[in-house]
Amino acid sequence: ITKNETKMKIGYVQNNPLFGQKEKNFEEIMQLTKGIKADVLVLSELFATGYTFTSKSEAKALAETADGETAQFLKQLSVETGATIVAGFIEKENEMVYNSSIIIDGNTVIDTYQKIHLFNRETLWFDVSNNPLKVYDIKGIKLGVMICFDWFFPEVCRELTLQGMQLLAHPSNLVLPYCQKAMVTRCLENRIFAITANRIGNEKRGDDDFTFTGASQITAPNG
């Protein structure tokens, strides 16, 4: 990060979640991050549950509050790696169900971001949030968060940049081949760094048959 000459070690975890098996997915993340120390680590969208639901009630059954078991696991991961963690989960808030990311530092839950632009059939599984986009002061820099398909709308990165964002955390479950290329433009036009943490694998459930494109990417302001 050059704007204020901060040096950071940043990374992502690219996983292949087993649908609905949180404990096994937590274990995989622990194995993938064994011995890793970093300042910021980004995990994929819905990293512990899988992505492809067949109904809202199915998503709701795997949803948690911001102090649920996924948050507890991520606190442990944050303490062990030293990293601020941004990771996707299904958030239950009152009667609403959101495709969210949680931002955790040590044993503190800093906030959640509820995905604004739901992709395809996600509109059947999740509620849309009206919460504002925000940036967070993390380790001397300003961190912004968006989720997967938010990339398609340049206004998201722009709005976060206008709030001072230097580093974007971007948990993803990408199924189209365009985002990794688009992030080069997002970073060039906004002069930001971005961590796109994608998943791999296939989910064939209900009417959907998704193959996730992997190729997670850290993109610099020079593209």
Q: What is the smallest separation between the CB atom of 49 and ligand ACM, expressed in angstroms?
A: 13
Catalytic residue list contains 45: yes
195 within 8 A of 167, measured Cβ to Cβ:
yes
Q: Toward ligand ACM, which CB reaches closer, 143 or 174?
A: 174
Q: What are the backbone dihedrals phi and psi of residue 209, each rounded to the nearest 5 degrees, phi first?
A: -140, 90
Catalytic residue list contains 148: yes
Q: What is the smallest separation between the CB atom of 9 and ligand ACM, expressed in angstroms?
A: 27
172 within 8 A of 205, measured Cβ to Cβ:
no
| Residues in contact with ligand ACM by the rule CB under 6 A | 45, 119, 148-149, 173-175
Q: How many CB atoms lie within 10 A of CB 68?
A: 16
Catalytic residue list contains 58: no
Active centre residues (catalytic): 45, 115, 148
